[in-house]
A and B are shown apart, each in its own frame.
Chain A
Amino acid sequence: DGGITQSPKYLFRKEGQNVTLSCEQNLNHDAMYWYRQDPGQGLRLIYYSQIVNDFQKGDIAEGYSVSREKKESFPLTVTSAQKNPTAFYLCASSPPGGRREQYFGPGTRLTVT
């Protein structure tokens, strides 16, 4: 079955620690995205990647970093520089050929105390 997986589902960290969220897809999609979702707000784009070894900052990239070494994988690191890291993080990918619908993983809920 094709799909997008994110791990872990829940993550707890102490303030000051970096943490990496995993996102893997076997849909053969070129483009991948990371969003942050806070209660009462829409999805906010952190980073996106249209192709392997290339990625661009979204609207709220500060305090985050990504890599795209393989087509299937787009991990997100939440660094200690991110001031309010507690949130629900969603990874998505979109099919090639200019189609714009995005398909989402189940998300990771990160809590930093």
Chain B
Amino acid sequence: EDKVVQSPLSLVVHEGDTVTLNCSYEVTNFRSLLWYKQEKKAPTFLFMLTSSGIEKKSGRLSSILDKKELSSILNITATQTGDSAIYLCAVDSNYQLIWGAGTKLIIKP
């Protein structure tokens, strides 16, 4: 059975800290891995990763895929209170997205 596991489930840090969120997967037919940020309502798309070892970057957020380890990390540097959210990881396998449970990130001022 395809599955995606995120860790930690929740994380509380102070503003300015750097955080690393993890996503590991076991799927039958990997096509890509996607990261989303969910604040109150709709998840918003952050990154899609298909190739191992190539970092995707957007401002203070970056992500990299390791196909050998079947995992991905999402880094957020110099965190701000606006980064508080649930971060979701999903893997495209057999043309369907398999979702992790998410990491709830709380940034304290």
* Chain A residues near B (Cβ < 8 Å): 4, 35, 40-45, 48, 58, 90, 100-107
Give A4's nearest chain B residue, CB to CB.
Answer: B42
Give B31's nearest chain A residue, CB to CB.
Answer: A100
Number of cross-chain contacts by CB at 8 Å: 45
Contact of A42 among B31, B88, B92 (CB under 8 A): B88
Which of under 10, 10 to 19, 20 to 34, or 35 or more describes the interface residues of B? 20 to 34
B43 touches A42 (CB 8 A): no
B101 touches A100 (CB 8 A): no
Given contacts A42-B4, A42-B102, contact A100 B42 (CB under 8 A): no
Q: Which 9 A-B pairs have the closest CB atoms?
A: A42-B99, A104-B42, A43-B99, A106-B41, A100-B92, A42-B101, A107-B41, A101-B45, A106-B42
| Bound Cα distance A4, B43 (Å) | 12
Is B7 part of the contact surface with A, judged by Cβ < 8 Å?
A: no
Per-position 1/0 for B86-109, Cβ under 8 A of A: 001010100111011110000000
A107 touches B42 (CB 8 A): yes
Chain B CB within 10 A, most for which of A35, A41, A90, A101: A101
